[in-house]
Amino acid sequence: MDFISEVKKKKEFSGLPDSVVARALKESGDEVKEARSLLRKYFGVFLTNRVLKFGSRKSEVGSRDILSCHISSKKRRYEEFYDSIFSMQNHDTFGAAFRMEGKNKISIVDLGCGVNGFSYEFLPKGTRYVGVEAAGQLVDQMNSFFKENKFDGEAICGDLFDLDLIRGILEKEKPDVVFLFQVVDALESVEKNFSLKLIGEIMKSVEVLVISVPLVSLGGGKKFAVKRKWLMDFLESDFVVKKDFEMFGERVLIVGKK
C-alpha cells in the first residue's frame, strides 16, 4: 500500500508535502489513522473548513476576512503589528534596506507563514515577500491573491524540516529579514532543538530574524507559564536580541548578529 497517498486522500492533508506525511507515518508506525491524527494535531487547526471555503470563493472576500478567520492571525491587528517591527526606531536594525532612496523597501522570507501573505498590504511599501508554508491549499490561495492584486509576493509549498529547501530559498531571495511567527513550539514538538538548528541556518544568510512565540493558547485566553529559557539562552549566547516586546498574545523578538 502507498501509505502517503492513503493519508492524503483526506482533503485537508492533500496539499501537504510528502515529506511531512512520511514523518507522521514513521512516528505512527505506518498506521494511516494514527498518522492523520498526528497531522491534525500539527496542521488541522490551520486548515479549518472556514479557511478552505474562503479560498474557494476568494474573489468574493477580502484579505481581512481570511486573516480574521484563521486562528493564528485573527488576534493580530497587522497595521500595529508590523509598525512595531518596522518602526523608525528600528531602522538601524534593518540597515541598508531602509535607506534605499528614502523608501521603506525590504525583502522578507516568512517561514511557516500560514495565511500571513494576505497581510501584504500592511507591510512596508514595495516589499518583496516570499512565504513558505506546508499546507498547499493556503499556498494556492496566497499565490492567487498576489497575482490578482499584482503584489510582489510568492508562496512556496515546503517542509521547514527540509533544510536544503530553506537554504535554497534564502540563497535565491537574499532577504533582508526572515519571519518565524508562532513556529518554534511546533518544531520542538516534533524534534527537540530543531528550531535552534533552523535559526542557526537562517542567521547564516540574513542580518535580522523576527521570531514570535505565543503567550496564550491559540484556542482561547489560557496563558502559558513557560518562559522558553532554552530559546532565550541560545539567542542571547549566539546573537543579539535587539527588541523584545509583547502584543496580541505573542512575544516578539527581533534578533540580529553580534
Query: Residue 121 burial (CB < 10 Å; 0-12/13-18/19+)?
Result: middle
Secondary structure of residue 246 in the 3-state scheme: strand
- Looking at residue 137, its pLDDT comes to 83
pTM confidence score: 0.85
Containing 180, the helix (H) or strand (E) segment is strand 177-181
Secondary structure of residue 168 in the 3-state scheme: helix
Q: pLDDT higher for 29 or 169?
A: 169
Per residue in 105-130, pLDDT (tens digit) is 789 999 999 889 999 999 988 899 99
| 227 pLDDT higher than 80 | no
Span 36-52, average pLDDT = 66
Mean pLDDT in the chain?
82
Secondary structure of residue 181 in the 3-state scheme: strand
Beta bridge partners of 208: 177, 256
- Looking at residue 224, its pLDDT comes to 55
| 189 pLDDT higher than 80 | yes
Q: At what angle do helices 136-149 and 49-56 cross, to 10 degrees?
A: 40
The secondary structure of residue 58, as a DSSP letter, is: G
